[in-house]
Structure 1
């Protein structure tokens, strides 16, 4: 019975996997060699040995670049978190030893999340970890995930519809969509409220980049109901104030409604037409959270992201 070939690099699997990941990232053996401070022949030998052991071609040439084959893409998805985890282990270890009495935590969230969902969580976090410098970045969801990908923030807290494959999303709270009206509005007490009824009145909506605007547009378009936007304005408190002044009606998540709104506006549930919005935590897939981020997530929900495979794809609202 023939024996399985043995390769010298098996004594150190990290080297060929690191060479492979750098080549995949940079598209060039020479650039990978420069990044790793080794010779080009060393990178080539490691890649060849890896291909022999796996029995698959991992790269093909596209113009002047090397691009992963289908097998190479599959290996990259598996190897990248391992290599990144090993390469960042010293820093992560030092941060772990420091504990939570130092360091910083950067969180991206949209205005409604910062205003309505996070205050009590932030208050509890500050009470327990006063030495951690906490920064909340007020962004729309798209900007927040861009900051997450560049490690400018540790977490994104907010709402997501479609979850990109490089991110993981754990929804924690669900809020129904509500129609918001000024007192005495014709739709306030109308029986059998329809989308067509709503579409006849001017809507006050947040800017188009925000999820709410896209959700409203999607529902009306899918039902082929025309509608008009009377005003676009940022900030839910501003929108509610304009509704109370009789400048239009709006559709918003119940997360934005407080006791202070009683009497000045009227709400009607829209669960017949609009799906509930979830709010939760977004992280980069495969990246271990810092101790500070872990502690903040525990304030929201203990063992968050530990209830299922950490490397799974995130939930999607669609």
Structure 2
């Protein structure tokens, strides 16, 4: 039923093209208007009107009778090839959508963090995340900050959780928790009860520090250098539990973040605040600027601090601790 003249054809179903296309596809599949009407739970006249309107709009005859069965014409076959994936996609949208959401809730989450963050800050957060997102495969990569940001840039991890002193231009750092720096001593040490503690007092005793690549070592060196106070490193060793053990054994003293101190340290160590000399250390989330976090990453960040992603525009420049 082709249209007449050059004027655009009138199509009563333009506001809802899915209905005539669905009726057309069902008629092609079933070979009958009545069967298509039954499959669509509508009346046979309604399907006939939809097919007629579709033919008027397209200016082509879409069906011809082949015995008792309706068969698509050449134009009908061409339209069926175009319309079938569209109709099937719309009809299966709710199921596909639920499947997609389920996949988003599952998947995997890779987080880079240094040993102190994994040991002292993350356990409760990881526990809660596992309770709420048991289908997500969570991997914690134990790295120093520099290696963690390299993994982040390479898309090998979704987040870096830890402390950052200077923030590169391509990253965003959102500090979430702050911890003061403390001097850690064995019981009975001469500085344990000394009044008016100074950097010079600390510098006279050998320090036990983590490796130079870590932020703590660089921070300690920066403070002593800025104040022109000499100091010595008695031992360089990785792992705060090891450092605390060596301090407790009297091998030296150390400077560490209060995040690393637990109830178990009360009896074997003496600590003193160093607020007058050292700034508080922050721990937070590092992300690539301009990259939206995955649903799994957002769920993890919400456990650290609710609405963190909503609050922050990750296209802005990052924070710096300096």
The two structures have a TM-score, normalised by structure 2, of: 0.69
Tell me if structure 1 keeps the 8 A contact 2:176–2:283. yes
Consecutive unaligned residues of structure 1, counting only runs of 5 or more, are none
Give the alignment partner of residue 90 of structure 2, picking from 86, 91, 101. Answer: 86
- Whether the aligned pair in 2 keeps the contact of 1:92 and 1:290 (CA below 8 Å) is no
Q: Contact 1:148–1:284 (CA<8 Å) still a contact in 2?
A: yes
Shift of 1:303: 1.4
Equivalences for residues 1-318 of structure 1 within 5 A: 97-318=101-322
* Cα offset, 1:174, TM superposition: 0.2
Q: CA 1:311 to 1:101, structure 2 compared with 1: closer, same or farther past 3 Å?
A: closer
Whether the aligned pair in 1 keeps the contact of 2:11 and 2:56 (CA below 8 Å) is no
CA 1:27/1:90 → structure 2, altered by over 3 Å: closer, same or farther? same
Q: Cα gap change, 1:87/1:235 in structure 2, threshold over 3 Å: closer, same or farther? A: farther
Please, which runs of 5 or more residues in structure 2 have no aligned partner?
Answer: 4-8
Contact 1:95 1:290 in 2 (8 A): no
Q: 1:2 to 1:15 in 2, by over 3 A?
A: closer
Q: Larger deviation: 19-28 or 282-291?
A: 19-28
Asked if the contact 1:175–1:253 (Cα under 8 Å) also holds between the matched residues in 2, the reply is: yes
Q: Deviations over 1:113-136 (max 9, x none)?
A: 000000000000001111110000
CA contact (8 A) 1:176 1:253 kept: yes
Per the TM alignment, residue 20 of structure 1 is displaced from its structure 2 partner at its CA by: 44
Deviation at 1:55, TM superposition (A): 46
Segment of structure 1 superposing worse, 218-227 or 294-303: 294-303
Q: How far off its partner does 1:98 sit? A: 3.4
**Equivalent residues of 1:181, 1:188 under 8 A apart:** yes
Distance 1:236 1:66, change over 3 A: farther
Provide, for residues 227-250 of structure 1, a one-character-per-residue CA deviation record: whole Å limited to 9, x for no partner: 000000000000000000000000
Higher mean C-alpha deviation, range 192-201 or range 49-58: 49-58
TM-superposed deviation, 1:97 = 3.0
> How far 1:311 moved relative to its partner?
0.6
Q: Which has the larger radius of gyration?
A: 2
